[in-house]
């Protein structure tokens, strides 16, 4: 049985189109038109993933996420028309798992939800990790591609799904340059609305998260005008 998804947006057209797409994939969807209604509804009827708009009446998406994080680690994706980097950074710093800016296809959102649900399922399983995980080590970096998780020098690094896909693409080709187009394909599966500048923003956040753990982190190299390269640390 597919997971339960809460979809929170004050735009009825978005609620209708996205909920239909998710239901066609087998998800059970509950829709809410504002943050207050969603907070009360999810408390009474818990879900597996929440998809939130930011700008809503009564309680916006940022405040809703803040309230959710007081009690739960519920996976949250922001789906919004706001595309200023500061909004994205605030949302991710507050504990959102991913951030998708419209216009985005429902297919991309479904892929992100599928990845989060898969990660939750694997993290909750008690079977032998060696049997359920596909792990890749690159020096101090350990990537678990099944769980969409990674560690650096044995310390967990919390990445969004998008960030994980970009890092995994780089680490899968150590010492080789990956163009922005190749990283876009890895992270967004060929979605043509995404600017290659999006990759630069994600790389910046990935680096920042690793530097917070290790100030000497320098494994992701920028080759200006070409792309990025992952260099294994010794």
What pLDDT is attached to residue 216? 94
Cis previous bond, 61, omega within 30:
no
Q: pLDDT at residue 127 above 50?
A: no
What pLDDT is attached to residue 80? 74
Average pLDDT across the chain, whole number: 84
pLDDT digits (tens, 9 = 90+) for 185-212: 888 766 555 666 778 888 988 998 999 9
The answer to whether 40 and 29 have CB atoms below 8 angstroms apart is no
Q: Which residue has the tokens 């038109």?
A: 33
Predicted confidence band of residue 149 (pLDDT cuts 50, 70, 90): confident
48 vs 116: CA distance, rounded Å: 9
Q: Can you list the domains of the chain with their CATH numbers?
A: 4-124 (3.40.50.2300), 129-230 (1.10.10.10)
pLDDT digits (tens, 9 = 90+) for 100-120: 877 667 888 888 888 778 767
Share of the chain above pLDDT 70, in %: 83
Nearest alpha carbon to residue 233 among 212, 206, 214: 214
Cα distances from 27 to residues 21, 79, 180, 208, in angstroms, run 9, 17, 32, 34
SS3 4: strand
pLDDT digits (tens, 9 = 90+) for 34-63: 999 999 999 999 999 999 988 888 898 989
Task: Please compute, for residue 115, the number of CA atoms within 13 A of its CA located in the half-sphere on the CB side.
Answer: 23
pLDDT digits (tens, 9 = 90+) for 3-36: 899 999 998 998 999 999 999 999 999 999 999 9
What pLDDT is attached to residue 126? 44
């Amino acid at each position: 049985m597919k997971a339960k998804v809460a979809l929170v947006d004050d735009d009825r057209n978005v609620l209708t189109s996205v909920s239909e797409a998710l239901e066609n994939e087998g998800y059970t969807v509950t829709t809410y038109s504002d943050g207050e209604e969603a907070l009360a509804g999810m408390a009474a009827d818990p879900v597996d993933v929440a998809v939130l708009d930011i700008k809503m009446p009564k309680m916006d998406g940022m405040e809703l996420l803040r309230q959710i994080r007081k009690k739960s680690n519920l996976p949250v994706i922001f789906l919004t028309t706001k595309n200023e980097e500061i909004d994205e950074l605030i949302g991710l710093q507050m504990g959102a798992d991913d951030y998708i800016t419209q216009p985005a296809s429902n297919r991309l959102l479904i892929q992100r939800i599928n990845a989060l649900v898969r990660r939750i399922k694997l993290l909750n399983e008690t079977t032998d990790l060696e049997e359920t995980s596909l792990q890749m080590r690159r020096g101090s970096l350990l990537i678990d591609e099944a769980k969409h998780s990674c560690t650096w020098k044995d310390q967990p690094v919390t990445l969004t799904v998008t960030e994980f896909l970009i890092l995994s693409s780089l680490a899968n080709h150590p010492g080789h340059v990956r163009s922005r187009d190749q990283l876009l394909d890895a992270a967004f599966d060929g979605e043509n609305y995404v600017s290659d500048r999006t990759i630069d923003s994600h790389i910046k956040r990935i680096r920042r998260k690793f530097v917070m753990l290790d100030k000497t982190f320098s494994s992701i190299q920028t080759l200006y005008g070409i792309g990025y390269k992952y260099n294994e640390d010794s």
